[in-house]
Structure 1
Amino acid sequence: MGDRGTFALLLLAATCSGPPRPTLPIDGDAIKAHIQKLASDEMQGRAPGGTGEKLATTYINDFYHSIGLKTQFQPVPMVGITSTASRVELTGQSGKKTLKYGDDFVVWSKQEKDSISASAELVFCGYGVVAPEYQWNDFKNDVKGKIIVVLINDPQLEDQRKFGGKAMTYYGRWTYKFEEAARQGAAGALIIHETELASYPWEVVRGSWSGEQFDIVRPDKGASTVPIQGWITRTVAAAVFKSAGLDFEEMKNKALQKDFKPVPLGIQALVDVKQEMRTVDSKNVIGVLEGSEKPGEYVIFTAHWDHLGIGEDQNGENIYHGAVDNASGVASMMEIARSAAKLQPRPKRSLVFMAVTGEEQGLLGSDYYAENPIFPLAKTLANINIDGANVYGRNDNHIEVIGFGYTTLEDILRDVVAHQGRTVIPDQAPEAGHYFRSDQFSFAKKGVPALFTKSVTPEDYKEYTAKRYHKPSDKFDPNWDMKAAADDARVLLQVALAVANAENWPEWKPGTEFRR
């Protein structure tokens, strides 16, 4: 492996005093055309394992082939599970209450069984976190066989030395909470949704976790996962706490204390889930531009091609087009690849353009790749992930680094964007944990420095999240201004070329949890 330690200083010197940057023509209209195709009704929302996957992956692969990349598919074996909750009842001192699916809760299971049932006491377990490095344990009492109820995110404290302060860590991710519930032997885990803390409304939860869900095929058929996984609304949670004689906000405050212990809620939950299953041969789509001097070393671009398919009807529409999320990211990556393929001479190291599957289901495609890499991770210098392009034409002359302060890649980025008259700014919503919510995280967990950026203005992002994120209304708009998307694509390609042509390797900055 190359020397990462002196990378930033040497590379900055090279980028400031080296030969002029090559012209990198990237056409915003071409990006727009790809989005229009990938987000069309024909693609049926691009869910894994269906017609939409076949059409989308073929389109991407054919494009890679047309621009001269070496192409291949990486099979990603999945199981598709459609869970239907036939009954969720809560029984306590105040009587019995039947919850309404979709409005009050969503539940599913990753266990490959025709039916899953759980009858168990509800226990409030704070944030559902066990973090030895912070001397934190929300499971001081045994919760084996219980259905745990946990808060969203992690204990976001003022002390920056604990859980990243106000910035969310992986302990706040829903994937972690279900993993920990399984380790604790719980019969089920329900996360309490709160819109402000989640950064998306309940409708996103309902749309994202209704219908068929996917998981990687597991040798144990999911037996090691927590049997019941789900979300409940804040309104339902507050009512449950009230019936137990507890105040929800007061209990949230108590959960911020290190000495917090699980609190039995005195309510018996009965959950019945019926399931239909199928195996799915999904795939990651890979195009490679071989390096001119070190073809066995790699810089990997990623963007997830999948979305939510056809789901719950909203305002007369049921195709979840995923135009911004993430047809726009794939489209940007495709045009970056086109521009890179025209370069003479070629970059010294290989550039890989990987459209991954299953991001919406928990980073399945990128996680599978990280566990089964086609190109050795020890020879992978960096990952650059694109999840949502700026389709609004405006960027406030900045580019935002999600996971600010993590890697020396942002030092290169800072120099590159300066030539566009722009600046690099930190993540504007670190409490939302976006670094852990997209495919760069799969590489980061393996120690590969990873860069994730966005440039959309806060106003545009807020409007998109409230009205279109994970909804059928996230669809193509012919009036989009793609100038900002093209600018961002040029920036990311320039960063990739700087890494691919440098003598030394990027590295994680001191104190970063992914530093190896």
Structure 2
Amino acid sequence: MRKILSIFFILPLAYSCSVAQSPSKYANTITEESSKNHLTILASKEFAGRGTGQEGGQKTVKYVADQFQSYGLKPIVNGSYYQPVSLLQVAYKVQNFTLAGQNLVYGQDFYVQGDNTDATFSSDEIIFLGYGIQDEKYNELKNIDITGKVVLIINEGEPVDADGKSIISGSTSKSMWSTSRFKRIQELTKLNPKLILATSSQNEEMIKRMNNRGMMGRVGLDKGNVNQATRTSVPVVHIKTSLADQLLSKIGTSVNNFTSKTTSAAAQPPVIKSPVQASMGVKNDKLNDPNVIGYLEGTDLKDEVIVVSGHWDHDGILPDGTYFPGADDNGSGTVAVVELAKAFAQAKKEGKGPRRSILFIALAAEEKGLLGSQFYVENPIIPLTQTVACLNIDMIGRIDDKHLNGDHNYIHVIGVNKLSSDLKPIVEKANAETKMKLDYDYDHPEEPMRLYYRSDHYNFAKNGIPSLFFFSGLHPHYHTPEDTVDKIDFPMMIKREKLIFNTTWEIANRDKKPVVDMPLADAQGTGR
């Protein structure tokens, strides 16, 4: 009887050891060729920067789901790989805008500052208010009713006398009016015009900036409590000087002529006979960009779950066709999630699957504020009480500025000093084969960039789940169209993927889950 019992006690230990001793065979299924193939597709023009709410994002989630399916991972979101994330995009949309007989393009010819509900604006004339200044010494709007009118102002500079002194301040230097461009508009809106057209020498550059970021709007989780009340603020349309000159030519002047000659406010502002037609305003669009989730069931510890995550989204494509490939951010992390899924699935097929279950998650809308991971922890597919660790992968394909002229054989490991004292020895054991420098600098309590709080693992950590963040660091092409595949250091990316695989393998097969015995810290995190 004692001998039989001994055999029963030995069998689980033998099983555990046999599994734990065989990771390298499966780590080696992660190759430079397969990683490069995946990343070349995900960072291609066809995938157009993998933007939230954009076609490139839709292609990305299908691509990842197809890989999960091909590996035999289980679709556990009601039989699907997709967990739709309830998002709300609030953006200013222009359906059409016609001015000076031209159909203008939002983000190329003009930009709008406005908070009005979608509305139609129509007028046959434009009132030219000069600088739009209201001051005791120079008031261009005295006794003028502009309620419901379309007006045009030159939103810079100020009137000067023959000696070049400001009529308002008496100074030859810039007065408050030239440095407070937005004050003019704020005062002007109080008079309730229908629409304000504003021009300045800065508009050309501002239009470019708005085209780069501003037109995408704000995206947040849809909590169903957005105020849908009518918005009534006066929209301000910022136009180029060349377009303003076309309008002013109808009254025999130009921006340059007006600013160089005007010394007193007109008693009655001139009227420009030119039609204006526009339909535009703030729109709330519901988005459902999904988290892509593949499930690999464990064996004797299958009720305990590890999350391996990386966000699939990036900055997408702009109206002018500029797109952000995001090869490193975070094409590299998305590829790593896919490659780890392949390796673990192969191990399972050969009877060497992990003891604990693993959820491979390509997360949505990280760039909008860690929204995909926030949605998941608020709506977990498997209870968070069963989730024992999160390994998050965000940018592992480059050599950062810190290491550019030094040792390239490194990886930043962030989070080893939070929540669990087991994490650091686990990573260091997993590194025995890859032999990389484990850079812990970003874990320093006074580290100014606070990167631990700026990627998706943080939402798991806030829920008491021991979490690691693998990262190769920042570089000059971060969030630019130059984050391309040709700049990826694939040999190092593969080594990093293998380290993360070995770390996951160790957590998945050790007898005890990582202990929670350290504080998270009191700092609050934010998205990037």
Q: TM-score by structure 1 length?
A: 0.60
Query: How big is each residue's C-alpha offset from its partner over 1:28-67, in whole Å with a ceiling of 9 and x where there is no partner?
Result: 2211111111111111221122211221111100011001
2:433 corresponds to which letter in structure 1?
Answer: H
Structure 2 contact 397–488 (Cα < 8 Å) conserved: no
1:356 corresponds to which letter in structure 2?
Answer: L
Which residue number in structure 2 is paired with residue 474 of structure 1? 483
Closer, same or farther in 2 for the Cα pair 1:45/1:91, shift >3 Å?
farther
Give 3-state SS (helix, strand or coil) of 2:38's partner.
Answer: helix
- In the TM superposition, what is the alpha-carbon distance from 1:507 to its structure 2 partner? 3.3
- Pairs within 5 Å for 1:111-126: none
Q: CA separation in 2, counterparts of 1:514 and 1:289?
A: 34
Query: How big is each residue's C-alpha offset from its partner over 1:113-144, in whole Å with a ceiling of 9 and x where there is no partner?
Result: xxxx999xxxxxxxxxxxxxxxxxxxxxxxxx
Structure with greater proportional strand content: 1
- Pairs within 5 Å for 1:79-228: 79-83=88-92, 86=113, 94-95=176-177, 97=179, 207=212, 210-221=215-226
Asked if residue 52 in structure 1 is aligned to residue 56 in structure 2, the reply is yes
Closer, same or farther in 2 for the Cα pair 1:206/1:99, shift >3 Å?
farther
2:485 corresponds to which letter in structure 1?
Answer: F
1:446 corresponds to which letter in structure 2?
Answer: N
Which residue number in structure 2 is paired with residue 439 of structure 1? 456
1:405 corresponds to which letter in structure 2?
Answer: N
Give 3-state SS (helix, strand or coil) of 1:311's partner.
Answer: coil
Closer, same or farther in 2 for the Cα pair 1:210/1:470, shift >3 Å?
farther
Query: Which has the higher mean CA deviation after the structures are superposed, 401-410 or 376-385?
Result: 401-410
- In the TM superposition, what is the alpha-carbon distance from 1:481 to its structure 2 partner? 3.5
Q: CA separation in 1, counterparts of 2:223 and 2:417?
A: 35
Structure 1 contact 447–514 (Cα < 8 Å) conserved: no
Q: Computing the radius of gyration over CA atoms, which structure comes out larger, 1 or 2?
A: 2
Closer, same or farther in 2 for the Cα pair 1:360/1:90, shift >3 Å?
farther
- In the TM superposition, what is the alpha-carbon distance from 1:294 to its structure 2 partner? 2.5
Which residue number in structure 2 is paired with residue 62 of structure 1? 66
Q: Which of these residues, 491, 495, 503, is aligned with residue 483 of structure 1?
A: 491
Give 3-state SS (helix, strand or coil) of 1:504's partner.
Answer: coil
Query: Which has the higher mean CA deviation after the structures are superposed, 281-290 or 398-407?
Result: 398-407
- In the TM superposition, what is the alpha-carbon distance from 1:444 to its structure 2 partner? 0.7
- Pairs within 5 Å for 1:271-420: 274-311=281-318, 318-343=322-347, 344-391=351-398, 396-406=408-418, 407=420, 408-420=422-434
- Runs of 4+ in structure 1 off by over 6 angstroms are 87-93, 203-206
2:357 corresponds to which letter in structure 1?
Answer: S
- In the TM superposition, what is the alpha-carbon distance from 1:95 to its structure 2 partner? 3.7
- In the TM superposition, what is the alpha-carbon distance from 1:20 to its structure 2 partner? 5.4
Give 3-state SS (helix, strand or coil) of 2:59's partner.
Answer: helix
Structure 1 contact 308–320 (Cα < 8 Å) conserved: yes
- In the TM superposition, what is the alpha-carbon distance from 1:21 to its structure 2 partner? 4.2
Closer, same or farther in 2 for the Cα pair 1:95/1:283, shift >3 Å?
same
1:212 corresponds to which letter in structure 2?
Answer: G
Give 3-state SS (helix, strand or coil) of 1:442's partner.
Answer: helix
1:416 corresponds to which letter in structure 2?
Answer: A
- In the TM superposition, what is the alpha-carbon distance from 1:438 to its structure 2 partner? 0.7
Q: CA separation in 2, counterparts of 1:28 and 1:431?
A: 34
Q: CA separation in 2, counterparts of 1:306 and 1:441?
A: 17
Q: CA separation in 2, counterparts of 1:222 and 1:96?
A: 36
Structure 2 contact 53–287 (Cα < 8 Å) conserved: yes
Q: Identity of aligned pairs, percent?
A: 29
Which residue number in structure 2 is paired with residue 137 of structure 1? none
Which residue number in structure 2 is paired with residue 73 of structure 1? 82
Structure 2 contact 460–467 (Cα < 8 Å) conserved: yes
Q: TM-score by structure 2 length?
A: 0.58
Q: CA separation in 1, counterparts of 2:522 and 2:513?
A: 16
Q: CA separation in 1, counterparts of 2:282 and 2:471?
A: 38
Which residue number in structure 1 is paired with residue 34 of structure 2? 30
Stretches of structure 2 lacking an aligned partner (at least 5 in a row) = 1-15, 76-80, 93-110, 116-131, 136-174, 183-187, 191-207, 234-279, 524-528
- Pairs within 5 Å for 1:421-432: 421-428=435-442, 430-432=447-449
Closer, same or farther in 2 for the Cα pair 1:20/1:76, shift >3 Å?
closer
Structure 1 contact 204–471 (Cα < 8 Å) conserved: no
Give 3-state SS (helix, strand or coil) of 1:353's partner.
Answer: strand
Query: How big is each residue's C-alpha offset from its partner over 1:251-290, in whole Å with a ceiling of 9 and x where there is no partner?
Result: xxxxxxxxxxxxxxxxxxxxxx952221112111001111
Closer, same or farther in 2 for the Cα pair 1:323/1:20, shift >3 Å?
closer
Give 3-state SS (helix, strand or coil) of 1:352's partner.
Answer: strand
Which residue number in structure 1 is paired with residue 152 of structure 2? none
State the number of aligned residues: 343
Structure 1 contact 398–424 (Cα < 8 Å) conserved: yes
